[in-house]
Chains A and B, each alone.
Chain A
Protein backbone atom coordinates (compact mmCIF):
# COMPACT_ATOMS: atom_id res chain seq x y z
CA UNK A 1 0.00 0.00 0.00
CA UNK A 2 2.69 2.44 1.08
CA UNK A 3 4.86 1.64 -1.90
CA UNK A 4 1.92 2.33 -4.17
CA UNK A 5 1.44 5.78 -2.69
CA UNK A 6 5.15 6.45 -3.02
CA UNK A 7 5.06 5.36 -6.63
CA UNK A 8 2.09 7.61 -7.31
CA UNK A 9 3.80 10.59 -5.72
CA UNK A 10 6.96 9.97 -7.75
CA UNK A 11 4.97 9.57 -10.94
CA UNK A 12 3.12 12.83 -10.21
CA UNK A 13 6.44 14.55 -9.55
CA UNK A 14 7.87 13.35 -12.85
CA UNK A 15 4.81 14.49 -14.77
CA UNK A 16 5.02 17.91 -13.14
CA UNK A 17 8.76 18.10 -13.87
CA UNK A 18 8.22 17.39 -17.55
CA UNK A 19 5.42 19.95 -17.74
CA UNK A 20 7.39 22.68 -15.99
CA UNK A 21 10.51 22.00 -18.06
CA UNK A 22 8.61 22.07 -21.34
CA UNK A 23 6.70 25.17 -20.29
CA UNK A 24 9.95 27.02 -19.67
CA UNK A 25 11.50 25.87 -22.94
CA UNK A 26 8.40 26.92 -24.84
CA UNK A 27 8.43 30.36 -23.20
CA UNK A 28 12.12 30.73 -23.96
CA UNK A 29 11.51 30.05 -27.63
CA UNK A 30 8.54 32.40 -27.67
CA UNK A 31 10.76 35.10 -26.23
CA UNK A 32 13.41 34.48 -28.89
CA UNK A 33 10.77 34.54 -31.60
CA UNK A 34 9.30 37.78 -30.28
CA UNK A 35 12.78 39.27 -30.41
CA UNK A 36 13.16 38.19 -34.05
CA UNK A 37 9.95 40.06 -34.78
CA UNK A 38 11.44 43.28 -33.44
CA UNK A 39 14.47 42.70 -35.65
CA UNK A 40 12.30 42.28 -38.74
CA UNK A 41 10.45 45.51 -38.01
CA UNK A 42 13.65 47.43 -37.32
CA UNK A 43 15.01 46.35 -40.73
CA UNK A 44 11.86 47.67 -42.37
CA UNK A 45 12.26 50.92 -40.56
CA UNK A 46 15.88 51.32 -41.59
CA UNK A 47 14.94 50.70 -45.22
CA UNK A 48 12.13 53.23 -45.13
CA UNK A 49 14.04 56.18 -43.72
CA UNK A 50 16.20 57.01 -46.79
CA UNK A 51 13.00 57.21 -48.87
CA UNK A 52 11.39 59.52 -46.38
CA UNK A 53 14.37 61.80 -46.18
CA UNK A 54 14.65 61.99 -49.97
CA UNK A 55 11.00 62.89 -50.27
CA UNK A 56 11.15 65.82 -47.89
CA UNK A 57 14.69 66.98 -48.61
CA UNK A 58 13.81 69.43 -51.36
CA UNK A 59 11.09 71.22 -49.46
CA UNK A 60 12.95 71.35 -46.20
CA UNK A 61 16.35 72.71 -47.16
CA UNK A 62 16.31 74.99 -44.12
CA UNK A 63 15.60 72.13 -41.71
CA UNK A 64 18.89 70.50 -42.56
CA UNK A 65 19.89 69.71 -39.01
CA UNK A 66 16.69 67.77 -38.32
CA UNK A 67 17.17 65.67 -41.43
CA UNK A 68 20.80 65.07 -40.70
CA UNK A 69 19.98 63.99 -37.18
CA UNK A 70 17.59 61.38 -38.58
CA UNK A 71 20.10 60.08 -41.12
CA UNK A 72 22.82 59.92 -38.52
CA UNK A 73 20.65 58.13 -36.00
CA UNK A 74 19.56 55.71 -38.71
CA UNK A 75 23.13 54.91 -39.75
CA UNK A 76 24.06 54.53 -36.13
CA UNK A 77 21.21 52.05 -35.65
CA UNK A 78 22.10 50.04 -38.75
CA UNK A 79 25.67 49.74 -37.52
CA UNK A 80 24.63 47.99 -34.34
CA UNK A 81 24.72 44.42 -35.51
CA UNK A 82 24.03 42.74 -32.24
CA UNK A 83 21.73 39.77 -32.63
CA UNK A 84 19.70 38.04 -29.99
CA UNK A 85 18.27 39.33 -26.74
CA UNK A 86 21.78 39.66 -25.23
CA UNK A 87 22.47 42.75 -27.29
CA UNK A 88 19.15 44.33 -26.43
CA UNK A 89 20.64 47.19 -24.42
CA UNK A 90 22.82 48.25 -27.35
CA UNK A 91 20.06 47.93 -29.92
CA UNK A 92 17.45 49.68 -27.85
CA UNK A 93 19.73 52.66 -27.20
CA UNK A 94 20.39 53.23 -30.90
CA UNK A 95 16.76 52.65 -31.85
CA UNK A 96 15.42 54.94 -29.16
CA UNK A 97 17.70 57.70 -30.44
CA UNK A 98 16.32 57.08 -33.93
CA UNK A 99 12.76 57.19 -32.61
CA UNK A 100 13.17 60.60 -31.07
CA UNK A 101 14.93 61.95 -34.19
CA UNK A 102 12.03 60.70 -36.29
CA UNK A 103 9.50 62.21 -33.93
CA UNK A 104 11.16 65.60 -34.26
CA UNK A 105 11.10 65.25 -38.03
CA UNK A 106 7.41 64.40 -38.05
CA UNK A 107 6.63 67.41 -35.88
CA UNK A 108 8.53 69.58 -38.35
CA UNK A 109 6.74 68.03 -41.33
CA UNK A 110 3.42 68.83 -39.67
CA UNK A 111 4.42 72.50 -39.78
CA UNK A 112 4.67 72.54 -43.57
CA UNK A 113 1.16 72.23 -44.99
CA UNK A 114 2.44 72.51 -48.58
CA UNK A 115 4.57 69.44 -47.89
CA UNK A 116 1.63 67.46 -46.64
CA UNK A 117 -0.47 68.54 -49.60
CA UNK A 118 1.63 66.51 -52.00
CA UNK A 119 0.15 63.03 -51.81
CA UNK A 120 3.53 61.40 -51.63
CA UNK A 121 4.25 62.70 -48.16
CA UNK A 122 0.84 61.65 -46.90
CA UNK A 123 1.60 58.10 -47.97
CA UNK A 124 5.07 58.19 -46.54
CA UNK A 125 3.69 59.55 -43.30
CA UNK A 126 1.24 56.66 -43.11
CA UNK A 127 4.07 54.23 -43.83
CA UNK A 128 6.19 55.80 -41.15
CA UNK A 129 3.36 55.79 -38.60
CA UNK A 130 2.75 52.14 -39.39
CA UNK A 131 6.42 51.25 -39.15
CA UNK A 132 6.75 53.03 -35.83
CA UNK A 133 3.64 51.23 -34.57
CA UNK A 134 4.97 47.89 -35.76
CA UNK A 135 8.24 48.46 -33.94
CA UNK A 136 6.33 49.50 -30.83
CA UNK A 137 3.96 46.51 -30.95
CA UNK A 138 6.78 44.05 -31.62
CA UNK A 139 8.56 45.53 -28.61
CA UNK A 140 5.41 45.26 -26.55
CA UNK A 141 4.97 41.61 -27.48
CA UNK A 142 8.60 40.93 -26.67
CA UNK A 143 8.38 42.65 -23.30
CA UNK A 144 5.17 40.83 -22.42
CA UNK A 145 6.58 37.45 -23.39
CA UNK A 146 9.91 38.10 -21.68
CA UNK A 147 8.16 39.23 -18.49
CA UNK A 148 6.09 36.08 -18.51
CA UNK A 149 9.25 34.02 -19.03
CA UNK A 150 11.10 35.82 -16.25
CA UNK A 151 8.20 35.50 -13.83
CA UNK A 152 7.93 31.78 -14.53
CA UNK A 153 11.63 31.35 -13.83
CA UNK A 154 11.43 33.09 -10.49
CA UNK A 155 8.16 31.67 -9.22
CA UNK A 156 8.09 28.74 -6.86
CA UNK A 157 8.11 25.86 -7.68
CA UNK A 158 9.09 26.38 -11.32
CA UNK A 159 12.30 28.10 -10.20
CA UNK A 160 13.65 24.69 -9.18
CA UNK A 161 13.59 23.56 -12.83
CA UNK A 162 14.94 26.84 -14.21
CA UNK A 163 18.56 25.69 -14.00
CA UNK A 164 17.72 22.40 -15.66
CA UNK A 165 16.01 24.17 -18.56
CA UNK A 166 18.96 26.60 -18.84
CA UNK A 167 16.57 29.48 -18.34
CA UNK A 168 18.18 32.90 -18.02
CA UNK A 169 16.29 36.07 -17.21
CA UNK A 170 15.66 37.94 -20.47
CA UNK A 171 16.39 41.66 -20.65
CA UNK A 172 13.40 43.87 -21.26
CA UNK A 173 13.36 46.58 -23.89
CA UNK A 174 13.52 49.77 -21.90
CA UNK A 175 11.74 52.74 -23.37
CA UNK A 176 14.01 55.70 -22.92
CA UNK A 177 12.05 58.18 -24.85
CA UNK A 178 12.70 61.83 -24.18
CA UNK A 179 9.05 62.58 -24.70
CA UNK A 180 8.02 60.02 -22.12
CA UNK A 181 10.68 60.93 -19.63
CA UNK A 182 10.12 64.66 -19.84
CA UNK A 183 8.04 66.37 -17.21
CA UNK A 184 4.53 66.74 -18.60
CA UNK A 185 3.72 70.32 -19.50
CA UNK A 186 0.33 71.62 -18.62
CA UNK A 187 -1.15 73.37 -21.59
CA UNK A 188 -4.37 75.20 -20.86
CA UNK A 189 -4.71 76.88 -24.24
CA UNK A 190 -7.13 74.15 -25.44
CA UNK A 191 -5.20 73.85 -28.68
CA UNK A 192 -5.13 70.42 -30.25
CA UNK A 193 -1.86 68.65 -29.65
CA UNK A 194 0.49 68.31 -32.60
Chain B
Protein backbone atom coordinates (compact mmCIF):
# COMPACT_ATOMS: atom_id res chain seq x y z
CA UNK B 1 0.00 0.00 0.00
CA UNK B 2 2.73 2.41 0.93
CA UNK B 3 4.45 1.86 -2.38
CA UNK B 4 1.26 2.68 -4.22
CA UNK B 5 0.57 5.87 -2.32
CA UNK B 6 4.15 7.02 -2.60
CA UNK B 7 4.00 6.65 -6.36
CA UNK B 8 0.78 8.59 -6.35
CA UNK B 9 2.37 11.21 -4.16
CA UNK B 10 5.36 11.55 -6.43
CA UNK B 11 3.15 11.93 -9.49
CA UNK B 12 0.98 14.44 -7.72
CA UNK B 13 3.99 16.50 -6.64
CA UNK B 14 5.35 16.47 -10.18
CA UNK B 15 1.96 17.40 -11.59
CA UNK B 16 1.66 20.28 -9.14
CA UNK B 17 5.12 21.60 -9.92
CA UNK B 18 4.38 21.41 -13.64
CA UNK B 19 0.96 22.99 -13.31
CA UNK B 20 2.31 25.85 -11.23
CA UNK B 21 4.87 26.59 -13.95
CA UNK B 22 2.17 26.32 -16.62
CA UNK B 23 -0.08 28.59 -14.62
CA UNK B 24 2.61 31.26 -14.41
CA UNK B 25 3.46 30.91 -18.10
CA UNK B 26 -0.21 31.12 -19.00
CA UNK B 27 -0.64 34.14 -16.79
CA UNK B 28 2.30 35.98 -18.34
CA UNK B 29 1.34 34.91 -21.87
CA UNK B 30 -2.18 36.17 -21.34
CA UNK B 31 -0.92 39.57 -20.27
CA UNK B 32 1.56 39.60 -23.13
CA UNK B 33 -1.34 38.97 -25.49
CA UNK B 34 -3.32 41.79 -23.92
CA UNK B 35 -0.33 44.12 -24.25
CA UNK B 36 1.10 43.18 -27.64
CA UNK B 37 -2.39 42.67 -29.06
CA UNK B 38 -3.22 46.19 -28.04
CA UNK B 39 0.02 47.40 -29.59
CA UNK B 40 -0.75 45.64 -32.84
CA UNK B 41 -4.25 47.06 -33.01
CA UNK B 42 -2.91 50.49 -32.27
CA UNK B 43 -0.21 49.97 -34.91
CA UNK B 44 -2.79 48.95 -37.54
CA UNK B 45 -5.02 51.87 -36.75
CA UNK B 46 -2.19 54.46 -36.93
CA UNK B 47 -0.41 52.91 -39.89
CA UNK B 48 -2.34 54.82 -42.50
CA UNK B 49 -2.19 58.11 -40.63
CA UNK B 50 -0.48 61.08 -42.30
CA UNK B 51 3.27 61.52 -41.73
CA UNK B 52 3.01 64.12 -39.02
CA UNK B 53 0.50 62.13 -36.90
CA UNK B 54 1.52 59.56 -34.23
CA UNK B 55 2.60 56.16 -35.51
CA UNK B 56 2.56 53.39 -32.95
CA UNK B 57 5.63 51.34 -33.83
CA UNK B 58 7.37 50.35 -30.62
CA UNK B 59 5.25 47.87 -28.54
CA UNK B 60 5.26 49.82 -25.28
CA UNK B 61 2.05 48.30 -23.94
CA UNK B 62 3.20 44.76 -24.58
CA UNK B 63 6.53 45.22 -22.86
CA UNK B 64 5.00 47.08 -19.95
CA UNK B 65 2.22 44.52 -19.36
CA UNK B 66 4.61 41.57 -19.68
CA UNK B 67 6.93 43.12 -17.13
CA UNK B 68 3.98 43.84 -14.85
CA UNK B 69 2.78 40.23 -15.19
CA UNK B 70 6.23 38.86 -14.41
CA UNK B 71 6.53 41.08 -11.37
CA UNK B 72 3.04 40.12 -10.25
CA UNK B 73 3.79 36.41 -10.59
CA UNK B 74 7.02 36.81 -8.64
CA UNK B 75 5.27 38.88 -5.99
CA UNK B 76 2.45 36.33 -5.79
CA UNK B 77 4.93 33.51 -5.28
CA UNK B 78 6.88 35.42 -2.66
CA UNK B 79 3.96 36.75 -0.64
CA UNK B 80 0.98 34.58 -1.67
CA UNK B 81 0.72 32.62 1.60
CA UNK B 82 0.91 35.82 3.67
CA UNK B 83 -1.75 37.45 1.53
CA UNK B 84 -4.09 34.49 1.83
CA UNK B 85 -3.67 34.39 5.61
CA UNK B 86 -4.06 38.14 5.84
CA UNK B 87 -7.28 38.05 3.84
CA UNK B 88 -8.84 35.62 6.32
CA UNK B 89 -7.69 37.59 9.37
CA UNK B 90 -5.86 34.58 10.79
CA UNK B 91 -3.52 35.05 13.73
CA UNK B 92 -0.44 32.94 14.37
CA UNK B 93 -0.35 30.55 17.31
CA UNK B 94 3.11 31.14 18.71
CA UNK B 95 2.93 30.47 22.41
CA UNK B 96 -0.32 28.64 23.08
CA UNK B 97 -1.82 29.21 26.50
CA UNK B 98 -5.35 27.86 26.51
CA UNK B 99 -5.76 24.07 26.36
CA UNK B 100 -7.59 24.11 23.03
CA UNK B 101 -4.74 25.88 21.27
CA UNK B 102 -2.19 23.69 22.97
CA UNK B 103 -4.07 20.67 21.70
CA UNK B 104 -4.11 22.08 18.18
CA UNK B 105 -0.34 22.58 18.28
CA UNK B 106 0.12 19.03 19.54
CA UNK B 107 -2.14 17.60 16.87
CA UNK B 108 -0.34 19.48 14.10
CA UNK B 109 3.02 18.28 15.43
CA UNK B 110 1.74 14.70 15.48
CA UNK B 111 0.47 14.88 11.93
CA UNK B 112 3.68 16.50 10.71
CA UNK B 113 5.54 13.52 12.11
CA UNK B 114 3.13 11.09 10.47
CA UNK B 115 3.49 12.90 7.16
CA UNK B 116 7.25 13.15 7.52
CA UNK B 117 7.35 16.91 6.88
CA UNK B 118 8.56 19.79 9.06
CA UNK B 119 6.00 21.31 11.39
CA UNK B 120 4.10 24.02 9.53
CA UNK B 121 3.21 27.34 11.12
CA UNK B 122 -0.15 27.25 12.84
CA UNK B 123 -2.90 29.87 12.54
CA UNK B 124 -6.34 30.35 14.03
CA UNK B 125 -9.16 32.16 12.28
CA UNK B 126 -11.64 33.66 14.72
CA UNK B 127 -14.76 32.43 13.00
CA UNK B 128 -17.51 30.31 14.57
CA UNK B 129 -17.97 28.22 11.42
CA UNK B 130 -15.85 25.06 11.27
CA UNK B 131 -13.33 25.12 8.44
CA UNK B 132 -9.62 24.69 7.79
CA UNK B 133 -7.14 25.45 5.06
CA UNK B 134 -3.47 25.13 4.23
CA UNK B 135 -1.26 27.47 2.26
CA UNK B 136 2.42 27.88 1.45
CA UNK B 137 4.86 27.19 -1.33
CA UNK B 138 6.43 23.92 -0.14
CA UNK B 139 6.60 21.80 3.03
CA UNK B 140 9.36 24.02 4.42
CA UNK B 141 7.23 27.15 4.06
CA UNK B 142 3.79 25.89 4.91
CA UNK B 143 0.91 27.19 7.01
CA UNK B 144 -2.12 25.44 8.44
CA UNK B 145 -5.09 27.46 9.63
CA UNK B 146 -8.24 26.29 11.40
CA UNK B 147 -11.25 28.25 12.59
CA UNK B 148 -12.28 28.55 16.22
CA UNK B 149 -15.49 26.78 15.25
CA UNK B 150 -13.56 23.71 14.19
CA UNK B 151 -11.68 23.59 17.50
CA UNK B 152 -14.94 23.82 19.40
CA UNK B 153 -16.81 21.28 17.29
CA UNK B 154 -14.36 18.45 16.71
CA UNK B 155 -12.99 15.81 19.01
CA UNK B 156 -9.24 15.34 19.22
CA UNK B 157 -9.28 12.52 16.69
CA UNK B 158 -11.45 14.45 14.26
CA UNK B 159 -9.22 17.51 14.54
CA UNK B 160 -6.28 15.25 13.85
CA UNK B 161 -7.96 13.90 10.73
CA UNK B 162 -8.74 17.40 9.43
CA UNK B 163 -5.16 18.54 10.06
CA UNK B 164 -4.01 15.34 8.32
CA UNK B 165 -6.08 16.33 5.29
CA UNK B 166 -4.46 19.76 5.23
CA UNK B 167 -0.96 18.34 5.61
CA UNK B 168 -1.81 16.02 2.73
CA UNK B 169 -2.28 19.15 0.62
CA UNK B 170 1.04 20.47 1.90
CA UNK B 171 2.92 17.26 1.26
CA UNK B 172 1.77 16.75 -2.31
CA UNK B 173 2.40 20.44 -3.10
CA UNK B 174 -1.25 21.25 -3.74
CA UNK B 175 -0.65 24.31 -1.61
CA UNK B 176 1.85 25.73 -4.07
CA UNK B 177 -0.51 25.57 -7.03
CA UNK B 178 -3.56 26.63 -5.06
CA UNK B 179 -1.89 29.53 -3.28
CA UNK B 180 -0.39 30.76 -6.53
CA UNK B 181 -3.80 30.53 -8.12
CA UNK B 182 -5.42 32.43 -5.26
CA UNK B 183 -2.79 35.17 -5.50
CA UNK B 184 -3.07 35.43 -9.29
CA UNK B 185 -6.87 35.38 -9.24
CA UNK B 186 -6.67 38.26 -6.79
CA UNK B 187 -4.18 40.10 -8.99
CA UNK B 188 -6.29 39.64 -12.12
CA UNK B 189 -9.41 40.85 -10.37
CA UNK B 190 -7.55 43.91 -9.12
CA UNK B 191 -5.95 44.70 -12.48
CA UNK B 192 -9.19 44.08 -14.29
CA UNK B 193 -10.99 46.61 -12.15
CA UNK B 194 -8.22 49.14 -12.71
CA UNK B 195 -7.95 48.45 -16.42
CA UNK B 196 -11.69 48.68 -16.99
CA UNK B 197 -11.61 52.15 -15.54
CA UNK B 198 -8.67 53.14 -17.75
CA UNK B 199 -10.23 51.54 -20.84
CA UNK B 200 -13.50 53.32 -20.30
CA UNK B 201 -11.63 56.63 -20.18
CA UNK B 202 -9.47 55.59 -23.15
CA UNK B 203 -12.41 54.49 -25.30
CA UNK B 204 -13.66 58.05 -25.58
CA UNK B 205 -10.26 59.32 -26.73
CA UNK B 206 -9.84 56.40 -29.12
CA UNK B 207 -13.24 57.00 -30.63
CA UNK B 208 -12.31 60.60 -31.32
CA UNK B 209 -9.03 59.60 -32.95
CA UNK B 210 -10.69 56.95 -35.05
CA UNK B 211 -13.19 59.23 -36.63
CA UNK B 212 -10.44 61.63 -37.58
CA UNK B 213 -8.31 59.11 -39.46
CA UNK B 214 -11.27 56.91 -40.41
CA UNK B 215 -11.18 57.28 -44.16
CA UNK B 216 -7.61 56.14 -44.69
CA UNK B 217 -7.32 52.84 -42.84
CA UNK B 218 -10.01 50.99 -44.77
CA UNK B 219 -7.68 48.14 -45.85
CA UNK B 220 -7.04 46.87 -42.36
CA UNK B 221 -10.72 47.14 -41.42
CA UNK B 222 -11.98 43.51 -40.96
CA UNK B 223 -8.78 42.23 -39.38
CA UNK B 224 -8.66 45.19 -37.06
CA UNK B 225 -12.27 44.67 -36.08
CA UNK B 226 -11.83 40.96 -35.30
CA UNK B 227 -8.67 41.62 -33.33
CA UNK B 228 -10.35 44.37 -31.42
CA UNK B 229 -13.35 42.20 -30.53
CA UNK B 230 -11.19 39.28 -29.39
CA UNK B 231 -8.96 41.62 -27.46
CA UNK B 232 -11.80 43.34 -25.65
CA UNK B 233 -13.40 39.96 -24.94
CA UNK B 234 -10.13 38.82 -23.36
CA UNK B 235 -10.21 41.77 -21.02
CA UNK B 236 -13.80 41.11 -20.06
CA UNK B 237 -13.35 37.37 -19.66
CA UNK B 238 -10.09 37.45 -17.71
CA UNK B 239 -11.61 37.26 -14.22
CA UNK B 240 -14.12 34.61 -15.29
CA UNK B 241 -11.42 32.44 -16.82
CA UNK B 242 -9.28 32.61 -13.72
CA UNK B 243 -12.29 31.76 -11.55
CA UNK B 244 -13.09 28.66 -13.62
CA UNK B 245 -9.43 27.67 -13.43
CA UNK B 246 -9.57 27.97 -9.65
CA UNK B 247 -12.63 25.75 -9.54
CA UNK B 248 -11.39 23.09 -11.90
CA UNK B 249 -8.08 22.74 -10.18
CA UNK B 250 -9.28 22.01 -6.67
CA UNK B 251 -11.89 19.26 -6.72
CA UNK B 252 -10.04 16.05 -7.57
CA UNK B 253 -7.32 16.73 -5.07
CA UNK B 254 -9.78 16.82 -2.18
CA UNK B 255 -10.31 13.07 -2.56
CA UNK B 256 -6.57 12.53 -2.61
CA UNK B 257 -6.03 14.67 0.50
CA UNK B 258 -8.80 12.71 2.25
CA UNK B 259 -6.99 9.49 1.40
CA UNK B 260 -3.70 10.91 2.65
CA UNK B 261 -5.32 11.93 5.91
CA UNK B 262 -6.53 8.36 6.30
CA UNK B 263 -3.02 7.13 5.57
CA UNK B 264 -1.52 9.42 8.22
CA UNK B 265 -4.06 8.77 10.97
CA UNK B 266 -4.95 5.17 9.99
CA UNK B 267 -8.39 6.25 11.04
CA UNK B 268 -10.58 7.18 8.04
CA UNK B 269 -13.73 7.14 10.16
CA UNK B 270 -12.43 10.13 12.15
CA UNK B 271 -12.29 12.27 9.01
CA UNK B 272 -15.72 10.99 7.98
CA UNK B 273 -17.03 12.07 11.38
CA UNK B 274 -15.37 15.47 11.09
CA UNK B 275 -16.75 16.07 7.60
CA UNK B 276 -20.19 15.07 8.80
CA UNK B 277 -20.01 17.58 11.64
CA UNK B 278 -18.66 20.32 9.37
CA UNK B 279 -21.40 19.60 6.84
CA UNK B 280 -23.97 19.71 9.63
CA UNK B 281 -22.78 23.14 10.70
CA UNK B 282 -23.41 24.32 7.17
CA UNK B 283 -23.19 28.05 7.70
CA UNK B 284 -20.85 29.97 5.44
CA UNK B 285 -17.45 30.87 6.87
CA UNK B 286 -17.68 34.64 6.90
CA UNK B 287 -13.97 35.27 7.36
CA UNK B 288 -12.98 33.43 4.20
CA UNK B 289 -13.53 35.29 0.96
CA UNK B 290 -14.12 33.98 -2.52
CA UNK B 291 -10.45 34.19 -3.50
CA UNK B 292 -9.32 31.62 -0.94
CA UNK B 293 -12.38 29.34 -1.14
CA UNK B 294 -10.64 26.60 -3.09
CA UNK B 295 -8.02 26.24 -0.35
CA UNK B 296 -10.48 25.14 2.32
CA UNK B 297 -11.45 21.66 3.46
CA UNK B 298 -15.08 22.46 2.74
CA UNK B 299 -16.57 25.19 0.61
CA UNK B 300 -16.61 28.24 2.91
CA UNK B 301 -19.23 30.00 0.80
CA UNK B 302 -21.86 27.44 1.69
CA UNK B 303 -22.86 26.94 -1.93
CA UNK B 304 -25.37 24.17 -2.40
CA UNK B 305 -23.56 23.10 -5.55
CA UNK B 306 -21.24 21.07 -3.37
CA UNK B 307 -24.17 18.87 -2.49
CA UNK B 308 -24.36 17.04 -5.79
CA UNK B 309 -22.28 15.92 -8.68
CA UNK B 310 -23.15 16.52 -12.29
CA UNK B 311 -22.12 18.52 -15.28
CA UNK B 312 -23.19 21.86 -13.85
CA UNK B 313 -21.90 21.25 -10.36
CA UNK B 314 -18.70 19.74 -11.75
CA UNK B 315 -18.01 22.91 -13.65
CA UNK B 316 -18.82 25.36 -10.89
CA UNK B 317 -18.25 23.86 -7.44
CA UNK B 318 -14.84 24.12 -5.79
CA UNK B 319 -15.37 20.99 -3.74
CA UNK B 320 -16.63 17.48 -4.42
CA UNK B 321 -19.93 16.51 -2.85
CA UNK B 322 -19.56 15.94 0.86
CA UNK B 323 -21.74 12.84 0.86
CA UNK B 324 -19.46 11.17 -1.64
CA UNK B 325 -16.32 12.05 0.32
CA UNK B 326 -17.86 10.67 3.51
CA UNK B 327 -18.98 7.51 1.72
CA UNK B 328 -15.48 6.87 0.38
CA UNK B 329 -13.94 7.35 3.83
CA UNK B 330 -16.50 5.06 5.42
CA UNK B 331 -15.64 2.46 2.82
CA UNK B 332 -11.97 2.72 3.79
CA UNK B 333 -12.89 2.43 7.46
CA UNK B 334 -14.96 -0.70 6.95
CA UNK B 335 -12.30 -2.28 4.79
CA UNK B 336 -9.84 -1.65 7.61
CA UNK B 337 -12.16 -3.11 10.24
CA UNK B 338 -12.79 -6.14 8.10
CA UNK B 339 -9.09 -6.71 7.63
CA UNK B 340 -8.39 -6.44 11.33
CA UNK B 341 -11.39 -8.59 12.20
CA UNK B 342 -10.25 -11.16 9.67
CA UNK B 343 -6.85 -11.30 11.35
CA UNK B 344 -8.38 -12.15 14.70
CA UNK B 345 -10.94 -14.66 13.53
Taking Cβ atoms with an 8 Å cutoff, the residues of A that contact B are 30, 34, 37, 41, 122-123, 126-127, 129-130, 133-134, 137-138, 140-141, 144-145, 147-148, 151, 184
Contact = CB atoms under 8 A, between A and B. Distances in A.
A184 B3 contact: no
B182 to A, nearest CB: 30
Interface string B87-122: 000000000000100110011011101111000000
Given A134-B109, A138-B113, A140-B266, A184 B344 contact: yes
A130 B266 contact: no
A106 to B, nearest CB: 14
Contacts of A126: 99, 102-103, 106
A35 to B, nearest CB: 12
Given A122-B99, A126-B103, A137 B344 contact: no
Task: Say what secondary structure dominates the interface of chain A.
Answer: helix
A148 B103 contact: no
A134 B114 CA distance: 8
A151 B6 CA distance: 13
B113 A123 contact: no
Contacts of A140: 114, 266
Interface residues of B, number: 20
Contact of A34 (B3, B109, B116, B344): B116
Nearest to A146: B2
A109 to B, nearest CB: 17
A126 B99 CA distance: 9
Contacts of A138: 113
Q: Which 7 A-B pairs have the closest CB atoms?
A: A130-B106, A137-B114, A144-B2, A137-B113, A133-B110, A141-B116, A138-B113
A151 B7 CA distance: 14
